[in-house]
């Protein structure tokens, strides 16, 4: 049967699509990051989907035998019940003896009273098996891990400590991979007396379990006192003494290794521990027996192995912390809502940032325009163009609606339209310069001469002020005469007087000669009749004209 489990890859694709939509429409980090953001999201999402696919495939491949045995053993158990029954992974020593009760050849699964026990032969496979169990149980991780410890199967305490460190690392990796806390238990199988226990009820677990870790060491003392209180004969007293010794040894050797803070893996979260007078054959050369001999100088007698199957530590998991069973689809919906809320928060953040940038930009354009004086007309025209562009942009938003990167209920650009229109309407172009300044030639030159009279510069002050006020314009200096004399002589005289006046203006204004042009018209352009003295006086003149530019006022 195909197990759906938590749709992790679908959630990755959903989050990536939402991130790309927010990044594309709202652009919370600016347009310059647009394509880089798209590429980054695609790379990350593809990598996560590929990594998760490989992870699940590897877990299913390594757990194929376990999954097959589970399907066969739970064929008649409804899926809803299967996800609610506690599922415990068993690692460590003597797993064959523990699962010898299973009728199938693999002997991997045992469905006991209220729990599914699953055998994990190698501790290194625990992370992949735990992940496969999460998929098999429709998104629910295993409920716990039991470490079986049979001290008599180890040559010395160092070899046992090494196996314990491997188990500790494997449980930490499994918890990380499944995202679950995975409560841990220790079951110690050790023959305590030479007298063989009767089958069934005669085998009794001595231990403690809780729904919160770690277990207080004082509770182990209570186990010892309880065993001593039940001692009614010599055999029970001997068993109680051996139990007290093996509990102390377990605390030092087993628990010390599993919870040592100096080890790199997460300490073993001990929710329960139990001891039973059952286990493999043992003699004086085994780790616990060697410690007893060092402390008492008495070598424990050799004992034979207990017949299989050995009892599973069912009493330990009776206090197993119960998880709230939730459908992985429901969990995915909750996570999707959380992702959507995060995307909405990023979108609101981006829209708020863009609105702040818009208001700051338009306000800066308004401030720059208002700080320019009328005599800075060129700079005012540039600032006015920026205001017109701002006004057109905001007007477009008012008519067609603001884009998503500015909207989401945060758009405030409409309040800037009135000050923009007011500022644009307030622009007044500077008054045009006088078209022509006419100077009387007789006040500047002697009759028939092109040399400026001494003191004639007073007549040129007005012309010089006009030129300085419009220093960027081109200047045409034109000479005119009356009709007295020859036409050729009058033309030459008008050219010479215009050139003399131009030279003086260049020197006085400091402007380059390229801004000046000289033109002599002689008597060809009279402004009055030459038949009277008054008319001829008006015709003898020099005209200074500013050539107008083609700049126009912005709309």
- At 113-167, the pLDDT tens digits run 778 899 998 999 899 888 888 877 777 889 999 999 999 898 888 889 999 999 9
Average pLDDT for 442-457: 83
Average pLDDT for 8-13: 82
Residue 59: how many CA atoms within 13 Å on its side-chain side?
Answer: 20
pLDDT at 509: 83
pLDDT at 5: 61
The domain over range 436-547 is classified in CATH as 1.10.30.50: no
The Cα 374–Cα 426 span in angstroms is 11
pLDDT at 470: 72
- In the structure, what pLDDT confidence band is assigned to residue 49 with cuts at 50, 70 and 90? confident
Integer angstrom CA distances of residue 499 from 313, 503, 527 = 121, 6, 21
Tokens of 58: 């590897």
Phi, psi of 93 (to 5 degrees): -95, 155
The Cα 505–Cα 499 span in angstroms is 10
pLDDT at 552: 41
Beta strands in 102-258 (DSSP E): 109-112, 115-119, 144-149, 184-189, 205-209
Helix (H) or strand (E) holding 270: strand 270-276
What is the sign of the dihedral through the CA atoms of 252, 253, 255 and 257? positive
What 8-state DSSP symbol labels residue 303? B
Q: How far is CA 308 from the centre of its chain?
A: 56
Is the model more confident about 504 or about 194? 504
Do the Cβ atoms of 37 and 29 come closer than 8 Å?
Answer: yes
Q: Whose CA is closest to 255, among 124, 363, 149, 131?
A: 149
The Cα 109–Cα 82 span in angstroms is 13
The Cα 551–Cα 472 span in angstroms is 13
Whether pLDDT at 198 is above 60: no
- In the structure, what pLDDT confidence band is assigned to residue 168 with cuts at 50, 70 and 90? very high
- In the structure, what pLDDT confidence band is assigned to residue 31 with cuts at 50, 70 and 90? low
Distance separating the N- and C-terminal Cα atoms of the chain: 74
Burial track 446-458 (b if 16+ CB lie within 10 A, e otherwise): eeeebebeeeeee
- In the structure, what pLDDT confidence band is assigned to residue 6 with cuts at 50, 70 and 90? low
Helix (H, G, I), strand (E, B) or coil at 545: strand
The Cα 75–Cα 460 span in angstroms is 116
Whether pLDDT at 435 is above 70: no
Question: Cis peptide before 309, with omega less than 30 degrees from 0?
Answer: yes
The Cα 257–Cα 422 span in angstroms is 80
pLDDT averaged over the chain? 81
Q: Whose CA is closest to 352, among 269, 410, 425, 428?
A: 410
Beta strands in 30-170 (DSSP E): 87-92, 109-112, 115-119, 144-149
pLDDT at 451: 87
Average pLDDT for 211-235: 69
Phi, psi of 116 (to 5 degrees): -110, 120
Whether pLDDT at 73 is above 80: no
Helix (H) or strand (E) holding 521: strand 516-522
Whether pLDDT at 211 is above 90: no
- In the structure, what pLDDT confidence band is assigned to residue 63 with cuts at 50, 70 and 90? low
Pick left, alpha or beta for residue 397 (phi over 0 → left; psi -120 to 50 → alpha; otherwise beta). Answer: alpha
Helix (H, G, I), strand (E, B) or coil at 457: helix
Tokens of 10: 């679908």
Helix (H, G, I), strand (E, B) or coil at 51: helix
Do the Cβ atoms of 389 and 366 come closer than 8 Å?
Answer: no
Q: Whose CA is closest to 247, among 215, 212, 213?
A: 215
Do the Cβ atoms of 167 and 127 come closer than 8 Å?
Answer: no
pTM: 0.57
Q: Whose CA is closest to 473, among 524, 511, 523?
A: 511
């Amino acid at each position: 049967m195909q197990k759906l489990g938590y749709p992790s890859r679908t959630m990755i694709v959903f989050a990536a699509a939402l991130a790309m939509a927010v990044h594309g429409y709202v652009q919370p980090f600016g347009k310059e990051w647009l394509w880089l953001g798209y590429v980054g999201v695609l790379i990350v999402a593809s990598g996560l989907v590929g990594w998760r696919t490989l992870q699940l495939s590897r877990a299913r491949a390594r757990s194929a035998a376990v999954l097959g045995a589970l399907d066969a053993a739970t064929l008649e158990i409804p899926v809803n019940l299967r996800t609610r029954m506690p599922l415990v992974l068993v690692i460590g020593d003597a797993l064959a003896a523990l699962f010898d009760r299973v009728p199938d050849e693999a002997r991997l699964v045992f469905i006991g009273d209220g729990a599914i026990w699953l055998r994990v032969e190698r501790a290194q496979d625990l992370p992949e098996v735990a992940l496969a169990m999460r998929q098999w149980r429709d998104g629910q991780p295993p409920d716990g891990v039991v470490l079986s410890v049979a001290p008599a199967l180890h040559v010395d305490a160092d070899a046992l400590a090494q196996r314990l460190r491997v188990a500790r690392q494997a449980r930490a990796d499994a918890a990380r991979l499944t995202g679950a806390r995975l409560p841990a238990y220790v079951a110690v199988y050790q023959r305590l007396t030479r007298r063989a226990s009767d089958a069934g009820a005669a085998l009794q677990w001595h231990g403690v379990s809780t729904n919160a870790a770690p277990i207080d060491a004082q509770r182990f003392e209570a186990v010892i006192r309880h065993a001593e209180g039940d001692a009614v004969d010599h055999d029970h007293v001997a068993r109680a003494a051996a139990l007290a010794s093996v509990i102390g040894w377990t605390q030092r050797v087993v628990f010390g290794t599993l919870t040592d803070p100096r080890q790199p893996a997460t300490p073993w979260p001990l929710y329960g521990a139990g001891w039973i007078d059952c286990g493999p054959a043992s003699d004086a050369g085994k780790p616990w027996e060697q410690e007893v001999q060092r402390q008492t100088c008495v070598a424990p007698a050799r004992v034979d192995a207990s017949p299989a199957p050995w009892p599973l530590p069912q009493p330990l998991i009776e206090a197993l912390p119960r998880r709230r069973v939730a459908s992985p689809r429901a969990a995915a919906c909750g996570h999707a809502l959380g992702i959507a809320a995060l995307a909405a928060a990023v979108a609101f953040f981006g829209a708020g940032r863009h609105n702040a940038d818009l208001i700051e930009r338009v306000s800066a354009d308004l401030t720059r325009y208002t700080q320019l004086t009328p005599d800075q007309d060129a700079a005012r025209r540039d600032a006015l163009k920026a205001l017109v562009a701002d006004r057109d942009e905001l007007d477009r938003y008012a008519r067609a609606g603001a884009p998503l990167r500015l909207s989401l209920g945060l758009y405030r650009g409409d309040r800037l339209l009135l000050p923009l229109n007011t500022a644009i309407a307030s622009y007044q172009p500077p008054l045009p310069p006088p078209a022509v300044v006419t100077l009387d030639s007789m006040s500047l030159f002697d009759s028939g001469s092109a040399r400026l009279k001494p003191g004639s510069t007073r007549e040129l002050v007005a012309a010089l002020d006009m030129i300085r006020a419009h220093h960027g314009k081109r200047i045409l200096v034109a000479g005119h005469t009356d009709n007295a004399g020859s036409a050729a002589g009058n033309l030459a005289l008008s050219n010479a007087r215009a050139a003399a006046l131009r030279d003086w203006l260049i020197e006085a204004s400091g402007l380059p000669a390229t801004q000046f042009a000289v033109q002599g018209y002689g008597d060809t352009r009279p402004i009055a009749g030459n038949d009277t003295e008054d008319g001829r006086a008006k015709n003898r003149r020099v005209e200074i004209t500013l050539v107008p530019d083609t700049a126009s006022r912005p709309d």
